[in-house]
Structures are given as C-alpha cells and as structure tokens.
C-alpha cells in the first residue's frame, strides 16, 4: 500500500511542478486574496499524513470538508468583491467585481482539487474489500 501511496503522490508532485512551470500555480497564488491556499494546503497535507499512517480512513472526514471550505472561501471572496465596489463609474465597478469574483473562485478550485486528490488516494491505496 505504501508503495502505491508514494507513487501516486510522486505523480501529484510532478503535476504541481508542471503547473508551476507553465505559470498556473503563481497565478493561483497571486489571485488568492483571502489566503485560503495555506489553509487548504495544510489540511490536505494532514489528510495525506492520515492516509500514510493508515488512520481515519485516509482522512475521509477531513476530505469531505475540503469542498465546503473552498465554498466558504469563494463566498467570502465574493462578499469582499461586492464590498470593495464604491464610486460612480459603473463600467469600472463591473470590471472590478468580475475580476474579484473570478479571483475568489481560487478557494473553491483548491478545495475541490484537494478533495479529488485525497479521494483518488483512498481509492488507489485504501483497504480492499475482497469477497
């Protein structure tokens, strides 16, 4: 099981490095106005540790909370975007809201990606039911 766990996570690290190389990761970091990257990243690392230690179904309870946390981050980002719009120029205000709402979706994206990764690890490396 640990060999599969290491192999799948090695592929994950390679995907993150490739995303960094093409500029996706720096773009996400720059767009994370509400600073959810460290929170979701830390919880994902905790879920990986639980999976490595063989505890808690590989972090199943934690895994299920990540999309909700991402959604909370998105809602906070949208609220901040709407709050930041002040002034009489409606075209500039619409552009600002559109940009900031797009940036707030980063938290949702990260929560869903973390959930998907931990779910994949559980399916590939988790306990097998043999009947």
* Predicted confidence (pLDDT) per residue in 73-89, tens digit: 888 888 887 777 766 57
pLDDT band at 127 (very low <50, low <70, confident <90, very high): low
Could you give the CA distance from residue 92 to residue 107 in angstroms, rounded to a whole number? 24
Choose between 126 and 101: higher pLDDT.
101
Q: What is the pLDDT of residue 129?
A: 56
pLDDT at position 82, please? 76
Phi, psi dihedrals of residue 4, rounded to the nearest 5°? -65, -40
pTM assigned to the model = 0.75
Q: Would you kindly state where each structural domain of the chain is located, as residue ranges?
A: 2-125
Place of tokens 């900031």: 100
pLDDT tens digits along 17-44: 999 999 888 888 888 878 888 988 898 8
């Amino acid at each position: 099981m640990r060999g599969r766990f290491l192999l799948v996570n090695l592929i994950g690290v390679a995907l993150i490095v490739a995303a960094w190389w093409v500029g996706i990761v720096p773009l996400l970091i720059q767009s994370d106005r509400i600073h959810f990257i460290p929170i979701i990243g830390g919880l994902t690392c905790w879920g990986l540790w639980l999976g490595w230690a063989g505890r808690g179904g590989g972090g199943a309870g934690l895994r299920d909370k990540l999309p909700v946390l991402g959604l909370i981050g998105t809602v906070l980002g949208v609220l901040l975007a709407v709050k930041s719009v002040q002034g009489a120029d409606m075209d500039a205000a619409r552009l600002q809201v559109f940009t900031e709402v797009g940036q707030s979706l980063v938290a949702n994206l990260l929560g869903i990606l973390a959930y998907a990764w931990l779910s994949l690890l559980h399916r590939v490396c988790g306990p097998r039911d043999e009947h």
